A and B are shown apart, each in its own frame.
Chain A
Amino acid sequence: MHPALSINGLRKVYANGVEAIKGIDLEVAQRDFFALLGPNGAGKSTTIGIINSLIRKTAGTIDIFGISIDEDFARAKLNIGVMPQEFNFNAFERTMDIVVTQAGYYGIPHSVATERAEHDLKLMGLWEKRHTRAIALSGGMKRRLMIARSIVHRPKLLILDEPTAGVDIDLRRLLWELLRTLNSEGTTIILTTHYLEEAEHLCRNVAIIDHGTIIQNTSIRELLKLLQREVFVMDLISPLVKTEDWSYGDAQIHIVDSNTLKVNTHRDQSLNDIFNHLNENGIQVSSMRPQSNRLEELFLSLTRSDPP
């Protein structure tokens, strides 16, 4: 079975001499839910742009389900759906027309396109707005319209560039459910996001791209194993008597305020031991949470170095 996406030796040098992509290799299996992560300017958008033909590659090969984009880009494109980060529909067109028109670009007959548009707009909760011009939709509705448009031709590979940027928590959860459903139905999804919690929540595999090269390409589970230390914030039941930070084993315990501790611990350190230690010192913990997302910690540690 061909991978959904296979990239080999991809390079992109812009006309101004900037080498945005420095020979990356990447493979995304069919039915995978894959995260492509990286800081701003790392090369994510350039990579996506080359896959969808808006950017011309300098070198390398790309195969979509075994179809080389150099040999038959049109056939390869039939399998791809792309949802860009920025709203890029005609704001004066009606919601229904935007989706049906998109289907037409892929050669889908009007009657089929209309049926699918109805299904997708209902799925996205936009059916009541089908006659509304896009300009009158809320930000969340526009985001959902972008997704409806990107799936109307039933792509086997869906590329989502920051799909939940700027949407509220309710809608984000709704979109997560929709994406999970699409993935479970067989659609391969590649997701770029700055919400690393989202990637950890949704994706099975991940590649981190930085300065035009892939610095990690593994499963989320394997990636998280790289995280050596974690920081937890603990809320206390009663105020602390201690006034200075201290250590216990490999853990550093920092007093944030009289009711809050921050515990920096090695991943091999037993949390039970730490709780026992706190208990022995008369410190009762009412709640505990990670200071930040684990993947976020790891992402920062991997990409923090300054450009060479």
Chain B
Amino acid sequence: MTWTLIIGMATITYINRYFFFARSIAYRPGPHAQRLLSYSSYAVLTAIWAPIVFEFDGIHEVDLAGLDYLIATSLAAALSFLRINSLIVVLASTAVFFLIRFV
């Protein structure tokens, strides 16, 4: 029975991944849909990382995950805004993060 759960979950996640890869789906994004989709990576990646740094308690307070997060996140944001190479941004801000956290 547990295998039913695993296979069922695998099928559901796979359908969500494959859905718009199927040729039988007739929908083709037009120019307006393509414009909307061109912002999908900015929107979804921000929606994933923002709640790691800022935690809302559901009533009235937004808490920071910590000062280490705030400083290292600000550094990553500033360096990226200046269009510094992504690898350097990740290495520098992660190094600063762990220095503050463990030193």
A binds B: no
- Which residues of A line the B interface, CB within 8 A? none
Residues of B within 8 A of A (CB): none
